[in-house]
Amino acid sequence: MKLSIGPGALVAAAFIGPGTVTTCTLAGANFGFALVWALVFATLATMILQDMAARLGVMGRVGLGEALVGGAGNPMLKWAAAGLVLAALALGNAAYEAGNLAGGTLGLQAIIGEGDDYRRPLILLLAAIAALVLLIGRYKLIERILVTLVIIMSLAFAGSAILVRPDIGDMLGGLVPRVPEAGLLTAIALIGTTIVPYNLFLHAASAREHWPDATARALQEAQTDTRVSVGLGGLISILILTTAAASLFGSGQQISSAVAMAGAIAPTYGEAARYLVGIGLFAAGLTSSITAPLATAYALSEIARKPRSGPLFKAVALAVLTVGTLVALIGYKPISLILVAQVANGILLPIVAIFLLVAMNRRSLLGDRINGPLANVLGGLVIVITLGLGLRLVLRALGVWS
């Protein structure tokens, strides 16, 4: 069996965005290696759900949007499910696209120096690159670009972690589950930034395109791709946390972002460390700037039963990118929009996981490739956790849980 990396790398490219880089940086700077276990758990949980999504695409020959709408027999339930997906994906990803573009720009500024004079041109440059990739629209090309960027991220953050010379014993100690004082919300955030609902739509759709035949060989390749790629994504997150923990934990410095970390570690570990963190953040912003519109376009096209190469697909992708670009350019954080997006995504995460688990037990879709007892138990455990996570996100967005 050959190692066929593709759709899984798209998932890794999607969840390693500026938000993940920032969360991992803060976790390492504030709590050292104490929360490494949270990233390991999140990576394993992501593998469980993404494995199901890939199997749905390869063996069921449908995307999750199609399975979600097709599996809802009641018309009211069908439209309610479709409306929830539209709200959470379209509105949420449009709101967060601004953060992806701004984060990628900050990565470039960490390399070439900060300055308001070229902040907007850099945002437009990133948006133009993302638009070009989305307009070309050929799946194989998009896949190769994102795989390349994931490799660049891996090398950049691995290089930065090596430069700061972490204590291996402390790293291994972080595998023991414990929550340091005031670290609960950070632990939850690390899990929430890794298990991303729109990745389930992205993975099912891209797996169907990557493997055109529903064969046992294709399924085996898809499962290997998922485990290797998601595992690599989890490793990247751990490397970011490691860089911050080894260089900043206990230093007394106030760090609010990866860019601040890049500047803080340069005097001690050299300019190479700053450049590597900057390159990694740039790659993270660019990959998420492509995958967020891509996932939204996949889901909406599936729900509308329109071809992925058609005008609706490109129109949705470009609309998400355009809104994000405009918000990033004016430097205005749309609090109300982000509030709605957080609530919608908080609700969407466990609901989509439930729909996925139901679809994975539909013999009419998957034949003898339906979930076994172990997959259902593991999926059920992840759903319970995502229900708690979703409730926390909703309560936090509403100001009930600060």
Amino acid at 111: I
Q: What is the mean pLDDT of residues 142-157?
A: 91
Token pair, residue 355, equals 């729909």
Are 50 and 11 contacting, i.e. CB atoms less than 8 angstroms apart? Answer: yes
What's the pLDDT tens digit per position in 307-330?
Answer: 877 889 999 999 999 999 998 888
Owner of token pair 């020959």: 61
**What pLDDT is recorded for position 223?**
95
| Mean pLDDT, rounded, of the chain | 86
pLDDT band with cut points at 50, 70 and 90 for residue 334: very low
Q: Cα torsion for 348, 328, 287, 375, to the nearest 10°?
A: -10
Q: Which residues contact 25 (CB under 8 A, 6 or more apart)?
A: 240, 241, 243, 244, 255, 257, 258, 261
Which domains, ranges and CATH numbers included, belong to the chain? 7-398 (1.20.1740.10)
Residue 85's alpha-carbon distances to 48, 89, 266, 365, in angstroms, are: 21, 6, 43, 21
HSE-up of residue 331 (Cα within 13 Å, Cβ side): 5
| Alpha-carbon dihedral sign for residues 124, 128, 134, 140 | negative
- Residue 379: CB atoms within 10 A of its CB come to 22
Among 90-99, 201-210, 275-284, 296-305, the minimum mean pLDDT is found in 90-99
Nearest residue to 274 (alpha-carbon basis) of 256, 287, 258, 253:
258
Q: Is the pLDDT of residue 72 over 70?
A: no
pLDDT digits (tens, 9 = 90+) for 260-295: 787 777 767 778 888 898 999 999 999 999 999 999
The token pair that represents 41 in the structure block = 């758990």
The token pair at 63 is: 């995307």
CA distances from 387 to 15, 177, 184, 224, 394 (A): 19, 20, 16, 28, 11
